Amino acid sequence: MKFTLSWLKDYLDTSASLDEIVEALTRVGLEVEGVDDPAKLLAPYMTASVISAEQHPNADRLRVCVVDVGDGKPVQVVCGAPNARAGMKSVFSPPGTYIPGKNITLGVGMIRGVESAGMLCSAFELGLSEDHEGIIDLPADAPVGVAYADYAGLDDPVIDVAITPNRSDALGVYGIARDLAAAGLGTLKSAQVAAVHGQGDCPVRVTLDFAADEHRLAPAFALRLVKNVKNGNSPDWMQRRLKSIGLRPINALVDITNYLTFDRGRPLHVFDAKKVNGDLTVRHAREGEQIVALDGKTYTLDHGMVVIADGHGVESIAGVMGGEQSGCDEHTTDVLIESALWDPLNIAQTGRKLGINTDARYRFERGVDPAFCLPGIELATHWVQQLCGGEASEILLAGQVPHPALQIAFPLDEVERLTGLHCEAETKIAILQSLGFEVTGSAPVVDVVVPTWRPDVEGKADLVEEIVRIIGLDHVAAVPFMREPQVVAKPVLTLIQKRTRLAKRALASRGMVEAVTWSFISHDEAVLFGGGADELALANPIASDLSDMRPSLLPGLVKSAQRNADRGMSDVALFEVGQVFAGEKPEDQSIAASGVRRAQAQPQASGRHWYVPTRSVNLFDAKADAYAVLEALGVPTGGLQLVAGGPSWFHPGRSATLQFGPKLVVGAFGELHPRALEALDAKGPLVGFEINLDRLPPIKAKPTKMKAKLVLSDFQPVLRDFAFVVPLSVAAADVIKAAQTAERTLINDVTLFDVYTGQGIAEGHKSLAITVSLQPQDRTLTDADLESISDKIITEVAKKTGAVLRA
Amino acid sequence: MSDFATLEHDLTASIAAAGDEAALEALRIAALGKAGSISGLLKTLGGMSPDERKEQGPLINGLRDRVTAALAARRTALRDAALDARLEAERSDVTLPLPDSLAARGRIHPISQVIDELTTIFADMGFAVAEGPDIETDFYNFTALNFPLGHPAREMHDTFFFKPDANGERKVLRTHTSPVQIRTMMSQKPPIRVIIPGRTYRCDSDQTHTPMFHQVEGLVIDKGSHMGHLKWILAEFCKAFFEVDDVKMRFRPSFFPFTEPSMEVDIQCTRKGGEIRFGEGDDWLEILGCGMVHRNVITNCGLDPDEYQGFAWGMGIDRIAMLKYGMPDLRPFFEADVRWLGHYGFRPLDLPTLAGGLSV
């Protein structure tokens, strides 16, 4: 909402400076977004008269002018304008002036050997118009040596305020003046509208054609004919104000409606009465009905929209935009003025569907003051007669103007309760009254009647806001609000919150980089990774590849890794800890931790390096990442099972599933399936893992924080190595487990230290070498003890896995 | 010269001349071995008269001790020389570079870091962290928060919707973290103090908007907390978060459906050459919206708004991250470019704490 300072002063009697007004506007909630003060920029420009204009000695197109700038010291300037001539009045800028149209600062210079101490300016150079045909040619009676901005009336600052959607009352200059007056910036001037005496009935009849339960769509519609008007340009002052807020003057009749829209927040419409065919009907649009609107565009309407129609068809889209056919132009002699009330919701929907943003729609969809419906048409009539003459009919009112009078029982100490701000009852009452609220009764609870222009005020809290914003939020003192005083802060995070934080730090500590990728992925990707259910598909995705809620973090990470590779960063290790979706219900959402490694992004060194043997990532890198998460979170892994083969997006032979029993799958890791990579447009080698943090078992709560007692043996552990030959299909874990269970009391660790296939080992077999650590508890082991344990291990491993001790 | 003196002289010279430990050992055996020259002299002591022994004993024993010491000294000298020679031969190029350490390569995303910072600050003020689903119902996202029917946020133009279910009800991707206010108030008894960080979504994509972004919300509900408390919390938060001693704040009346009165908050700053500094200057920067929780919202959660009251505030996590750490654009937050993450991300152990400071 823009307005000028002089416009504001039509309604606000104030001695406040522009800065004070700007500061107060923001303070009361009408945030100033900008102040455009042309006088500031144009301050150096003075009116001047050209004493002489001689041909430049060295240039055909230049003239040497002597200019009187009003101080009795004529200056010489070189001027290239074709219209520069002796005796003319123009605008002069001295050296040092910033020229907005050219974005330069003027200096004293020699132009083709002649000194030029300033410039005579075009409107273009002042940034006032596109006209650079010649220097400004002022009327002969223009004074010399005054600020051009003052002379030309360009000294009216334009203030732009952002109006929150609740404050429809501030969408007119008068409403803004009321707020400022309440805030102590001056006195609100009376703006009573005098009725214009009409002669005879309005000849055009109006029918509101709605079902009984649809009156809200058009509660009231006032119409008045003014005959024998002479439409032409509106006066300069009106044009200047309209232009300064960014509106294009059209003709007096149209300008009046635009002016009152901003002046009083009252949108109006004018029809050329001679172009209206018969009576008017306000009704639903017919499906597919069309109108060429005032913007020259054709709109196709639907039944939900409200229109004003005559014998021709639709003449206007109610509250949004008028029609071209019945618009007013310079030939208009009889004008029909419309002032109506519409349903805000309906106007908003119509405007949105048609994509029309007008100042009328903007106000109607926020709610105009119903009580100003008839004063609005009176005021418009007044201006029409003032500017265009003519004889007015009486007002025809179809429907009824509603008079809301919401009454609120307001306990005055509600201000203290909600804001902590203490102030006198009289102050509170005075503020409400200055904003137009009627207050009756006396403290502690008063009755407040809400003015018709404040549809946003519904209850006690709204009145608190009115009082506190006018007093100023700065007066609300900050009051300390500590947690329970004199207590050490207690932990506040839940288990999953702690695990989410820890998982991130753990993975970053493995040299991985945290990504945050979109929660939505393409439908095909969702299907590929086990999702794609209809209930997780957006009805209005912003792009086709951001359409389905992700079932897994892997597709986003794989694609991110590939994007980095495409930029030349081939060896990337990325992770994400974030939400995944198994369904639309809250309990279907869970937190997953996932990571990918691409190309040679092994943990020890990324890419080729002398220090670490160069190799591509493999599934064991992903396995290590997955286990690192589990270990960092302190998840009890006793019951954790590793099952060969992961979900379908992994390589079937190079992946595994992690689970606590078949019903509690917590994750998977492995090499990505080549088909999955192809579908994601990614190239391997690429390995990854995903663990669902919500499914991990909690750590059992214990009554104390005491750890189990540490028992250390006095005897040295004994290590024994074994190499077993087994078929390739035998799992190493089974060999280790068999060895472990061979002698439960003494064996405390089994480590696999070598896997070998090749010479010396039969085709289809492998050699697994393990170290078994034996921890005696009460005596040193004898050779016979060791022999017997070795035999047990060999026998047990052979029995469980078919292994043969390597020769 | 006596025989002893000659023997000692010869042995000492030979020991000094021994070139390696083997030669030294041969000398030791020749002198002190079973058939050694000194051993031989020692054996003669047994056959001497007491007087003779009294005279010869110290001489022979002295000779033995001195030769033994000379052997030990020479052995040490030879070992030192051998070690020096070996060490001289053992040289590595210590300038060979190592791979970047894991701590140098690993990165925490600025959003995670800022959420940790927020949690740290507010936990100290007694706030818990509440969370809720991204997929919300119309009730939690709009109706309970006092959004009127027909509010533009309810349109497909602004909000992501799912397809209607069997009952014709459409779920939405939450447009703000505020539905968690409702879930919290409906599931917990006041007093309530929570912050709510999380992902939020709007149909918006341009230079300064992404369809997914992050918000953090604060909610306090009890029987007496008012706007003065809110101002204090926000001021303390801003000082702690931006790590400055003082922040000047400006509260402006504003409008949100779910608070009344509502305010927007600007903080004082300077902008010089793309750098923003807080706590100085005369520019104002909008940072958050807040207000007293609307009576209708309290009622919608089953509480009596004349008994319970409180306030809420909300701000963009991505935005405050940009303000504090200087990322110029929002879009790269979600592009997973390792160059960007390497530059703007945080090291794995940069853990924000109150004791050690939020940032390094």
DSSP summary character for residue B198: E
Chain B contact set for A609 (CB, 8 A)? 99
Upstream peptide bond of B348 is cis (omega within 30 degrees of 0)? no
- Is A133's pLDDT higher than 90? no
With CB atoms and an 8 Å threshold, state whether A514 touches B108.
yes
Would residue A699 be called left, alpha or beta, if left means φ above 0 and alpha means ψ between -120 and 50 degrees?
beta
With CB atoms and an 8 Å threshold, state whether B251 touches A494.
no
- Residue B301 is predicted with a pLDDT of 97
With CB atoms and an 8 Å threshold, state whether A489 touches B126.
yes
- Residue A395 is predicted with a pLDDT of 97
Nearby residues of B93 by Cβ (< 8 Å), 6 or more positions away: none
Name the residue type at position A390: G
Whole-angstrom distance, CA of residue A694 vs CA of residue A427 = 56
- Is B278's pLDDT higher than 90? no
- C-alpha neighbours within 13 Å on the C-beta side of residue A71: 7
Select from A143, A121, A140 the least CA-distant residue to A132: A121
Contact B104/A506 with Cβ under 8 angstroms? no
Helices (H), A673-782: 674-679, 732-742
A601 phi, psi to nearest 5 deg: -85, 65
Whole-angstrom distance, CA of residue B143 vs CA of residue B294 = 13
Could you give the 3-state DSSP secondary structure of residue B263? strand
pLDDT-based confidence at residue A150 (cuts at 50, 70, 90): confident
Chain A contact set for B321 (CB, 8 A)? none
pLDDT tens-digit map of A348-401: 999 999 999 999 999 999 999 999 999 999 999 999 999 999 999 999 999 999
- The residue written with tokens 């708004």 in the block is B305
pLDDT-based confidence at residue A98 (cuts at 50, 70, 90): confident
Task: Compute how many other C-beta atoms are within 10 angstroms of the C-beta atom of residue B165.
Answer: 12
With CB atoms and an 8 Å threshold, state whether B261 touches A477.
no
pLDDT-based confidence at residue B1 (cuts at 50, 70, 90): low
Average pLDDT over residues A666-692: 97
pLDDT tens-digit map of A770-799: 999 999 989 899 999 999 999 999 999 999
Whole-angstrom distance, CA of residue B280 vs CA of residue A797 = 75
Q: Which helix (H) or strand (E) holds B183?
A: helix B179-187
Nearest residue of chain B to residue A549 (CA atoms): B135
Q: Which of A479, A483, A510 sits opposite B232 (nearest CB)?
A: A479
Average pLDDT of chain A is 94
With CB atoms and an 8 Å threshold, state whether B252 touches A479.
no
- Is A486's pLDDT higher than 80? no
Give percent of chain A with pLDDT exceeding 90.
Answer: 81
User: What is the distance in angstroms between the Cα of A506 and the nearest Cα belonging to chain B?
Assistant: 8
pLDDT tens-digit map of A301-318: 999 999 999 999 999 999
With CB atoms and an 8 Å threshold, state whether A483 touches B126.
yes
Threshold 0.90, pTM exceeds: no
Whole-angstrom distance, CA of residue B297 vs CA of residue B259 = 8
Chain B contact set for A560 (CB, 8 A)? 335-336
Average pLDDT over residues B246-269: 94
Average pLDDT over residues B325-331: 92
The larger pLDDT score, comparing residue A269 to residue A142, is at A269
- Is A645's pLDDT higher than 70? yes
Which of A23-27, A71-75, A171-175, B128-132 shows the lowest mean pLDDT across its residues? Answer: A71-75
With CB atoms and an 8 Å threshold, state whether B228 touches A348.
no
User: What is the distance in angstroms between the Cα of A720 and the nearest Cα belonging to chain B?
Assistant: 35
Nearest residue of chain A to residue B265 (CA atoms): A473
Whole-angstrom distance, CA of residue B236 vs CA of residue B218 = 14
Whole-angstrom distance, CA of residue B174 vs CA of residue A431 = 39
Task: Tell me which of B135, B199, B229, B249 to substitute to probe the interface with A (most A C-beta atoms closer than 10 Å).
Answer: B135
With CB atoms and an 8 Å threshold, state whether B334 touches A579.
no
**Six-digit token string for A123:** 């409107």
Chain A contact set for B227 (CB, 8 A)? 418-421, 468, 473, 476
Which of A18-22, A72-76, A723-727, A780-784 shows the lowest mean pLDDT across its residues? Answer: A72-76
Task: Tell me which of A540, A572, A574 to substitute to probe the interface with B (most B C-beta atoms closer than 10 Å).
Answer: A540
- Is A292's pLDDT higher than 80? yes
User: What is the distance in angstroms between the Cα of B27 and the nearest Cα belonging to chain A?
Assistant: 42
pLDDT-based confidence at residue A44 (cuts at 50, 70, 90): confident
With CB atoms and an 8 Å threshold, state whether B252 touches A31.
yes
Nearest residue of chain A to residue B116 (CA atoms): A501
With CB atoms and an 8 Å threshold, state whether A418 touches B226.
yes
- Residue A426 is predicted with a pLDDT of 95
With CB atoms and an 8 Å threshold, state whether A505 touches B349.
yes
Chain A contact set for B255 (CB, 8 A)? 29, 164-167, 456
pLDDT tens-digit map of A546-572: 999 999 999 999 999 999 999 999 999
Name the residue type at position A212: A
pLDDT tens-digit map of B108-118: 999 999 999 99
pLDDT-based confidence at residue A130 (cuts at 50, 70, 90): low
- Is A405's pLDDT higher than 60? yes
Contact B327/B321 with Cβ under 8 angstroms? yes
Q: Which of A28, A539, A574 sits opposite B336 (nearest CB)?
A: A574
User: What is the distance in angstroms between the Cα of A585 and the nearest Cα belonging to chain B?
Assistant: 7
Q: Which of A165, A501, A569 sits opposite B338 (nearest CB)?
A: A569
Task: Tell me which of A25, A495, A519, A577 to substitute to probe the interface with B (most B C-beta atoms closer than 10 Å).
Answer: A519
pLDDT-based confidence at residue B292 (cuts at 50, 70, 90): very high
Distances (CA, A) of A136 to A89, A124, A133, A236: 8, 9, 9, 18
With CB atoms and an 8 Å threshold, state whether A345 touches B347.
no
Chain B contact set for A539 (CB, 8 A)? 156, 160-164, 170
User: What is the distance in angstroms between the Cα of B19 and the nearest Cα belonging to chain A?
Assistant: 41
- Residue B127 is predicted with a pLDDT of 95
Which of A182-186, B142-146, B247-251 shows the lowest mean pLDDT across its residues? Answer: B247-251
User: What is the distance in angstroms between the Cα of B31 and the nearest Cα belonging to chain A?
Assistant: 44
With CB atoms and an 8 Å threshold, state whether A589 touches B133.
yes
pLDDT tens-digit map of A752-766: 999 999 999 999 999
Q: Which of B149, B226, B255 sits opposite A166 (nearest CB)?
A: B255
Q: How many CB pairs under 8 A join A and B?
A: 264
With CB atoms and an 8 Å threshold, state whether B99 touches A560.
no
Contact A30/A167 with Cβ under 8 angstroms? yes
**Six-digit token string for A654:** 């190079």
Helices (H), B45-134: 50-89, 102-105, 110-124
- Give the ipTM: 0.91
pLDDT-based confidence at residue A38 (cuts at 50, 70, 90): confident
Burial of A244 (0-12, 13-18, 19+ CB in 10 A): buried
- Is A769's pLDDT higher than 70? yes
Task: Tell me which of A216, A418, A460, A548 to substitute to probe the interface with B (most B C-beta atoms closer than 10 Å).
Answer: A418
Nearest residue of chain B to residue A506 (CA atoms): B348
Longest Cα separation, chain B: 131
User: What is the distance in angstroms between the Cα of B276 and the nearest Cα belonging to chain A?
Assistant: 20
User: What is the distance in angstroms between the Cα of A561 and the nearest Cα belonging to chain B?
Assistant: 8
Whole-angstrom distance, CA of residue A194 vs CA of residue A583 = 65
Handedness of CA A794, A797, A798, A799 (dihedral sign): positive
Name the residue type at position A747: I
Average pLDDT over residues A208-224: 96
Average pLDDT over residues A75-84: 88
Longest Cα separation, chain A: 130
User: What is the distance in angstroms between the Cα of B309 and the nearest Cα belonging to chain A?
Assistant: 8
Whole-angstrom distance, CA of residue A239 vs CA of residue B287 = 39
Average pLDDT over residues A623-641: 93
Helices (H), A414-482: 414-419, 425-434, 460-471
- Is A225's pLDDT higher than 60? yes
Nearest residue of chain B to residue A29 (CA atoms): B253
With CB atoms and an 8 Å threshold, state whether A504 touches B108.
yes
- Residue B3 is predicted with a pLDDT of 81
With CB atoms and an 8 Å threshold, state whether A564 touches B338.
yes
The larger pLDDT score, comparing residue A39 to residue A244, is at A244
Nearest residue of chain B to residue A541 (CA atoms): B160
- Residue A484 is predicted with a pLDDT of 75
A557 phi, psi to nearest 5 deg: -70, -40
